[in-house]
Chains A and B, each alone.
Chain A
Amino acid sequence: MIDAKTSTLLLVSQSDSIKAKFAAYITLNDQIDVSQGFQLRSQSTRYPLESLAPSLPTFIDMPALSQTPEVIECLGQERISTLPQGAKISQFMSRFQDGREFPAEIATMMQANEASAILYFIATDRPFRQHVLQDLSLLMMLTKPLIVILATDRQVNTETEQGPYTAVWSTALSDLGLPQVSINLSDGRFLARCHFISSLCNTSPPLKALLSPLIDSYRELRQIQITAVAEILAQFIMDACQHSVRESYPKDGVPDSLKARTEDEAMLRLTQKLEADLSTMEARAWGEIAKVLKLHSFKPQIDQIAAILKESPNSLFCQTTWETFGLSQTQLLIGSTIMGAMTGGAIDASVGGASFMIGTAVGGIFGALTSAAYALGNDKGFKLGLTKGYFTLGPVGHPNFPWILLERGLMVIADLSKRSHACRIAIKLGSPGTHPRLRDKLSHVQAFKSRMPWLPDRSVKARWMELIIGVAGEYEI
């Protein structure tokens, strides 16, 4: 009976980097050092999976093998070569047990005694080299289940993206009769990860017993993460739709001749502040989403948001964003009509139906006209008010505003959830062209047909979350 909690799986390779990337990929930890470099490491590194579930085994990253040819040479010496395989290894280990001569090889042999299986990694971005087969010959002598992982970390363009030399390696390894499993360490999709674990499980029953709970753990984690990011995004949309800014009106008053100019200047300042605040809130929300997805390297430059407000094509308040994201004009009109009608319906209800649904009709028309006005113009819905000695600006009145925030948020969540924890290049958020369009997907979603959830109402958060979770599948989140 295998005790998964104490079981270990050895990660062996000639490259430390590929094993570290695998560890990051499997444990969803983007803070593991995956850099290439000088390989004189003699200590192994343990990567437990208990953060995912307590019953999962531990991966042990062994120091990179580098002296296998000499080890094979030693094992071929006269007095050892005639011994049975197991005895050969024992003899070798007792002769070099201090680890000074062959530190990585001795460490691997010693650790293999207690391991459940050995995973040997080959980087399929690199051409075939004969000496790698000597590593496998040595590991096969250790009489533990040995699986070859053909790994690449090429950026994923298609679901089956593999390294350029995968076929060459696969052919070269076929004579050894070892099970092979391919993996693209840049493909962070949940399905890809589960598919890999599933393939690994199929190579041997012991591995199946050890690793199949991992798929359940990933699934469970995914559900938790989707709910958490939906909550963050919903809260952000609600907060953003209620956010306003203000500055004090000059205490001594303003002469009539200067009133317009004062208002214009105040409008300009408050517009800049409102846009900066909302962009900062958005960046903060995205940062929290990244944390939920365990992506610690994604840190939106909150301090520099103001500097990129209008210049960046990805910024919240650039014209392209307002023209591209959110709902279509038709959808906005329909939505406004429904909203207006519902408001009117409340009036009708309040007078006990005595208005004969006129309130509903009028409200509907008014809502439609308002929406039409916003949709047809460039106005983002910024209205300067003067209340109790303060100039105030906001909340943003444009009906498409929450939908813009929603669509941008969904794109970010989609990009981040596909991000592999093995990647270390800067996260590049995709352009609208790489994602499905919200206006296309929402028409399929039941929630759109119900009340438009953009009024500040506590119960609305739940409906936003429901909407986000409902549409998440369309974005392959």
Chain B
Amino acid sequence: MNSSRAHLADLFDFEVQVLREDNPPSPTTLARDEAIGQRMPTDRRSSWSQLAFWLEEVKHATDRTWPGKSILEIYRYTAAGMFTLGIVTGIGTTRTVLHTNSRPPIDIFHWLGLFFLLPLLLTLITLSTLIVSKLRSSRRDPFAPWYGPLGALVTQKLVAWLMQRYQKTEFSTLIHRFHVLHTALLRAKVFQLLQVFGIAFYSSTLAYLLYRARLTDMAFSWGTTMTEDPSTMSRIIELIALPFSWLIASPTQELIAASRYTNFANTYATANGAEISKQWWVFLAAVTATYGVMPRLILLFAGQLSIARYLQNLRWDDHVSTALLRRLAWARTQKILSGAKGFNTKDPGSQDELSGAGLPRIPCLIIKWRNVDISEGFIAANVTTPYHLSANYIYEAIGTAAERKWLVETLTQPIAPRTVVILIDPWEFPGHALSKISAAMRTSSSYPLTILYAPVSENPKYRLYQQEELTMWQAAIKELDDCYTGLLTDYGAMP
């Protein structure tokens, strides 16, 4: 699985394993991740290849069911169901339109309405959504072009129902993570299902038309109250036939004129109108294929390519993934360095060695929240050094609008850090003031900003790793319901 591109089944398995993990990571979990990190081959460079290795190791070590393949099976069955439904409705609709016992004979306008105009409108809506979304797209939602208004509505309703149904369960956490991190993927898969339905619908329409044309005697007609000039109709038909005119000749003027049907006289415009009108079936089949089937096939195929690109470009920058990658990188680096010479974490030189050995320093903006009483020396000894951070800024804030403004301006700069570490008294759980600051900082950046809380105190009574407070903090972080927020301690520190 040394691939930089995630597979869907593996993505599901990874997200489920994230749910199963201890939060915060227990000493057992940390030890396990350290061992996996040390075993990781050095050729695993991309984020996903490292996470995939980790997932493989965890799978080997545990005896649990993994739902990824099952979820894909369910999806395939659902797609098969949609395909079947498409066929049934397509045939049913076509039968209704081709009902030959009625007078006047089969009106081609009905056909054109259902199998030309309607799919054309849907395609145009999708394309216009593509254009609008492209103009407004963010990197977080590369699927913006593809889901369309119907797909978005369906997924929104589905997610809301699932979260309500399974609220306060692990499943709702899973849905939430997918909704936040992979919503575009969910929408794309739903959109694909709609295209599968469409392809089945129009393909079955085409097949039924061909079947009826082969085995029965059909007569087509057209009529209108509005114009008497067949040449206008001819121009319209030529326009419709333009995309496939290189392959199939568009209906002739003679055919158009002859197949006009008058309700008053209850007859064709010409004596041989009924006979000539049969030739319409070719045009109608071509219209169905061109405007019904082909766009849906193209959209389906393009959607599949986009999904593949999405999985290829997943950044794994949510807090859980980042923290895990960090712990694995630290373990691997530790192994590299400890093998070379005596490694002393207190030696300032070792920080550069860590960076050189593949554990990059994380540039961050540090906020000292509400007069937290810690010195610069304490920050260096307990925050930046153990977690291998590079403090671009250390800013004291108490929660005013002016501070928010400064933070937003700072984070909007081109080389602004993407991580914010908030040093905070252990009893100061996040309130409205911090929520406002976090929301403001997030809107300032087009990239997801990682916010790490670090409850700290120089007073030994409130020392950083007091378990009871860590547990309360984890509960508070969980309530924030933000996939890009967590505790600094989740990154694992140098001993």
Chain A interface residues toward B at CB < 8 A = 14-15, 36-40, 64, 66-67, 69-70, 73-74, 102-104, 123, 126-127, 129-131, 134
B110 to chain A, nearest CB (A): 53
With both beta carbons as reference points, the residue of chain A lying nearest to B480 in the complex is identified as: A38
* Residue pair B370, A38 in contact (C-beta under 8 Å): no
* Residue pair B435, A126 in contact (C-beta under 8 Å): no
Contact among A38, A66, A129, A130 with B399 in the assembled complex (CB-CB below 8 Å): A66
Inside 8 A of A38's CB, which chain B residues have their CB? 429-430, 475-476, 479-480
User: Complex Cα distance A126/B436, Å?
Assistant: 25
User: Complex Cα distance A36/B427, Å?
Assistant: 8
* Residue pair B472, A37 in contact (C-beta under 8 Å): yes
With both beta carbons as reference points, the residue of chain B lying nearest to A103 in the complex is identified as: B432
Inside 8 A of B433's CB, which chain A residues have their CB? 66-67, 69-70
Name B432-455 residues within 8 Å CB distance of A.
432-436
Q: A36-B472, A38-B480, A69-B398 are in contact. Are A131 and B370 (CB under 8 A)?
A: yes
Inside 8 A of B475's CB, which chain A residues have their CB? 37-38
Name B465-495 residues within 8 Å CB distance of A.
472, 475-476, 479-480
With both beta carbons as reference points, the residue of chain A lying nearest to B459 in the complex is identified as: A127
Name B349-394 residues within 8 Å CB distance of A.
370-371, 373
A285 to chain B, nearest CB (A): 35
User: Complex Cα distance A70/B403, Å?
Assistant: 10
Chain B interface residues toward A at CB < 8 A = 370-371, 373, 398-402, 425, 427-436, 459, 472, 475-476, 479-480
User: Complex Cα distance A67/B399, Å?
Assistant: 7
Question: Interface centre among A15, A127, A134, by most B CB within 10 Å?
Answer: A127
Inside 8 A of B402's CB, which chain A residues have their CB? 73
A282 to chain B, nearest CB (A): 34
A265 to chain B, nearest CB (A): 49
A-B interface contact total, Cβ < 8 Å: 64
* Residue pair B427, A126 in contact (C-beta under 8 Å): yes
| Contact sample, A vs B, 13 pairs, CB 8 Å cutoff | A36-B427, A36-B429, A38-B479, A39-B429, A39-B431, A40-B435, A66-B432, A69-B398, A69-B399, A69-B400, A73-B400, A74-B401, A129-B373
B374 to chain A, nearest CB (A): 11
Q: A64-B431, A66-B432, A103-B432 are in contact. Are A129 and B370 (CB under 8 A)?
A: yes
* Residue pair A70, B431 in contact (C-beta under 8 Å): no
A165 to chain B, nearest CB (A): 10
User: Complex Cα distance A427/B331, Å?
Assistant: 44
User: Complex Cα distance A130/B430, Å?
Assistant: 18
A8 to chain B, nearest CB (A): 23
> 5 shortest A-B CB distances, which residue pairs?
A66-B431, A38-B476, A38-B479, A69-B398, A73-B400
B102 to chain A, nearest CB (A): 61
With both beta carbons as reference points, the residue of chain A lying nearest to B435 in the complex is identified as: A40
User: Complex Cα distance A67/B430, Å?
Assistant: 11
* Residue pair B427, A15 in contact (C-beta under 8 Å): yes
Told that A66-B431, A67-B436 touch, could you supply 15 new A-B pairs with CB distance under 8 A?
Answer: A15-B427, A38-B476, A40-B435, A64-B431, A66-B434, A67-B431, A69-B398, A70-B401, A102-B432, A123-B427, A127-B459, A129-B373, A130-B371, A131-B371, A134-B398
Question: Interface centre among A14, A40, A134, by most B CB within 10 Å?
Answer: A40
A305 to chain B, nearest CB (A): 31
With both beta carbons as reference points, the residue of chain A lying nearest to B434 in the complex is identified as: A66
Inside 8 A of B430's CB, which chain A residues have their CB? 38-39
B405 to chain A, nearest CB (A): 11
User: Complex Cα distance A66/B400, Å?
Assistant: 11
Inside 8 A of A129's CB, which chain B residues have their CB? 370-371, 373, 425
Inside 8 A of A40's CB, which chain B residues have their CB? 431-432, 435, 479
With both beta carbons as reference points, the residue of chain B lying nearest to A67 in the complex is identified as: B433
* Residue pair A67, B371 in contact (C-beta under 8 Å): no
Inside 8 A of B479's CB, which chain A residues have their CB? 37-38, 40
Question: Interface centre among B400, B402, B472, B479, by most A CB within 10 Å?
Answer: B400
B474 to chain A, nearest CB (A): 11
Inside 8 A of B399's CB, which chain A residues have their CB? 66-67, 69-70
Question: Interface centre among A38, A74, A130, by most B CB within 10 Å?
Answer: A38
A123 to chain B, nearest CB (A): 8
Inside 8 A of A102's CB, which chain B residues have their CB? 432
Inside 8 A of B427's CB, which chain A residues have their CB? 15, 36, 123, 126
User: Complex Cα distance A40/B435, Å?
Assistant: 9
User: Complex Cα distance A14/B429, Å?
Assistant: 10
B245 to chain A, nearest CB (A): 60
Inside 8 A of A15's CB, which chain B residues have their CB? 427
User: Complex Cα distance A69/B431, Å?
Assistant: 13
With both beta carbons as reference points, the residue of chain A lying nearest to B369 in the complex is identified as: A131
User: Complex Cα distance A39/B433, Å?
Assistant: 11
User: Complex Cα distance A18/B434, Å?
Assistant: 21
User: Complex Cα distance A24/B425, Å?
Assistant: 26
User: Complex Cα distance A67/B397, Å?
Assistant: 12
With both beta carbons as reference points, the residue of chain A lying nearest to B373 in the complex is identified as: A127
User: Complex Cα distance A40/B472, Å?
Assistant: 15
Inside 8 A of B434's CB, which chain A residues have their CB? 66
